[in-house]
Amino acid sequence: MQRILIVEDNKTLAKLIAKKIKSEINMEVDVAYSLQEAKLFIKMYKYFLVLSDLNLPDAPNGEIVDYALKKENRVIVLSANVDKNLRKELLSKNIIDYINKGGINDINYIINTIKRLQKNKEHTILVVDDSMVFRKQMKRMLENLFYKVITVAHGEEAINLLHTKINVSLVLTDYHMPVMNGIELTAAIRENYNKNDLCIIAISSNRDEEINALFLKEGANDYINKPFSKEEFSCRINNSIEALENIEIITNSANRDFLTGLYNRRFFFKDVQSYFDEAVQDDEYFAIAMIDIDHFKNINDTYGHDSGDKAIIDFSELLRANTHHHDVVARFGGEEFCIILKGVSSSEAKEIMEKLRSKVERSITMSDKDEEIKFTISIGLATQHEDTLEATINQADLYLYDAKNSGRNLVVSN
């Protein structure tokens, strides 16, 4: 488990921050009240983050910050000192942030910052600049915020990298670059990625307001003027990433089933339609399966609706585990599910569905009262397409009807 070290001689405040972190974040927390104690902890453990006061009984001049950084720790400074020169001096070091110790709102800010840093590890940022010095500076600052960072020297290199389908969340681009400037790069990226897929932030010392406007018109999410403060830079990067995450949450809410996390019926028809058209045109093999949990009403009546939901969730996990990541698995409603198996022959599709049926038959779901719930599924499988997607799904549905009428726990196909 990851650990956080709090270095603070105010024991009441230290315990309050530690309690708040433990209650809201799944991390171990150690507390040191002096530089000497902090050194012992840092020697013993590797820390995700060090939250440190500046003035300690045995280190009144911020020595703890230099020591923690020297030992390759990421540091957030906590201080009641509002001196601007001191703040500027500390931010020039490789610390993450400088937070005032003013009250409960500041503690909440600390908690939110830690949560943000944890999420940052999931994101990759692409830095595009022809200056090696600037690329190294940006890489250092971004990695200190826990982002994964890729750097390239010009726009064409960035486009080629994005074509490899590497999962980049944000592109940070300079304006003046050889071959392709930042505005041209932004326009080229937006041909394939919209603002819901990838953020673009332009950074430039150019003071021409028209340049700023052109960046935004071509699809940049934000613009940062050089020179900039570390705090401004961090806030703008984090805000753009957070906006991207919020869009993903909203999109998932619209496209996914709330209980299982599988795609919903609406998304299935929207997403699969284009694949269906292309697959039919290219004579690509695929199959569509309609699946129903047998006698599901009896599960609800016998064990309760909460246990019925648990059975649906367990079955959803089996669906995920027994299909390929490029297949589309959806819950159409209640105990009814639909899958499109991409790039499989008729015999392969039948084998996949038969294995799924067999695994479900052998699986056990535990009820809320620790009772074993066993259930089976019936599957209708269309391995030959009809004229339309809807007609093909209806054909699979007819096979499902036949499976149920033939005794259930069966795969019926053409």
Q: What is the pLDDT of residues 54-70, one digit of tens each?
A: 999 999 999 999 999 99
CA of residue 346 relative to chain centroid, distance: 35
pLDDT > 90 fraction of the chain, expressed in percent and rounded: 85
Average pLDDT value for residue range 255-283 = 94
> Roughly how many angstroms between the first and final C-alpha of the chain, as a whole number?
52
Does residue 251 have a pLDDT over 90?
A: no
Task: Give the closest residue to 332 by CA, choosing from 267, 378, 275.
Answer: 267
Confidence of residue 21 (pLDDT cuts 50, 70, 90): very high
Does residue 82 have a pLDDT over 80?
A: no
Tell me the three state secondary structure of residue 70: helix
Q: What is the pLDDT of residue 85?
A: 87
Average pLDDT value for residue range 191-205 = 93
Q: What is the CA radius of gyration of the chain?
A: 28
Helix (H) or strand (E) holding 139: helix 132-144
Does residue 252 have a pLDDT over 90?
A: no
Rounded (10°) CA dihedral 203, 207, 212, 213: 180
Domains and CATH numbers, the chain: 3-118 (3.40.50.2300), 121-254 (3.40.50.2300), 263-413 (3.30.70.270)
**What number of other Cβ atoms are within 10 A of residue 251's Cβ?**
12
Does residue 26 have a pLDDT over 90?
A: no
Kindly tell me the burial class for residue 193, based on how many C-beta atoms sit within 10 Å of its own C-beta (0-12, 13-18, 19 or more).
middle
**Residue 189 to residue 35: CA distance in whole angstroms:** 49
Average pLDDT value for residue range 295-320 = 95
Kindly list the distances between the CA atom of residue 343 and the CA atoms of 161, 264, 279, 283, 319, in Å, as whole numbers in the listed order: 27, 22, 9, 10, 17
Region of poorest pLDDT, from 69-83, 308-322, 395-409 = 69-83
Average pLDDT value for residue range 189-216 = 91
Task: Give the closest residue to 198 by CA, choosing from 166, 234, 229, 174.
Answer: 166
Q: What is the pLDDT of residue 104?
A: 81
Q: What is the pLDDT of residue 296?
A: 96
pLDDT > 70 fraction of the chain, expressed in percent and rounded: 100
Tell me the three state secondary structure of residue 262: coil
The residue with tokens 């016998």 is: 302
Average pLDDT value for residue range 41-50 = 97
Tell me the three state secondary structure of residue 191: coil
Does residue 331 have a pLDDT over 80?
A: yes
Whole-prediction pTM: 0.76
The residue with tokens 């196909």 is: 413
Confidence of residue 209 (pLDDT cuts 50, 70, 90): confident
Task: Give the closest residue to 252 by CA, choosing from 267, 230, 269, 241.
Answer: 267
Confidence of residue 88 (pLDDT cuts 50, 70, 90): confident
Does residue 103 have a pLDDT over 90?
A: no
**What number of other Cβ atoms are within 10 A of residue 216's Cβ?**
15
Q: Which pair of tokens denotes residue 39?
A: 């050194």
Does residue 336 have a pLDDT over 80?
A: yes
Confidence of residue 149 (pLDDT cuts 50, 70, 90): very high
Beta pairing class for 124-128 and 170-174: parallel
The residue type of 35 is L
Average pLDDT value for residue range 78-98 = 88
Average pLDDT value for residue range 361-384 = 95
Task: Give the closest residue to 98 by CA, choosing from 235, 237, 236.
Answer: 235
Average pLDDT value for residue range 255-265 = 94
Does residue 81 have a pLDDT over 90?
A: no
Q: Which pair of tokens denotes residue 81?
A: 């000192």
**Residue 398 to residue 378: CA distance in whole angstroms:** 12
Look up residue 256 and give its DSSP letter: B
**341 Cβ partners below 8 Å, 6+ apart?**
286, 287, 288, 289, 323, 324, 327, 348, 349, 352
Does residue 207 have a pLDDT over 80?
A: no
- Provide the H-helix boundaries in 80-131: 84-91, 104-120
Q: What is the pLDDT of residue 242?
A: 96
**209-217 helix and 182-190 helix, angle to the nearest 10 degrees:** 20
Does residue 102 have a pLDDT over 80?
A: no
Cβ(130)–Cβ(175) below 8 Å: no
Kindly tell me the burial class for residue 192, based on how many C-beta atoms sit within 10 Å of its own C-beta (0-12, 13-18, 19 or more).
exposed
Task: Give the closest residue to 292 by CA, choosing from 156, 145, 401.
Answer: 401
Confidence of residue 134 (pLDDT cuts 50, 70, 90): very high
**What number of other Cβ atoms are within 10 A of residue 184's Cβ?**
16
Tell me the three state secondary structure of residue 5: strand
Q: What is the pLDDT of residue 324?
A: 93
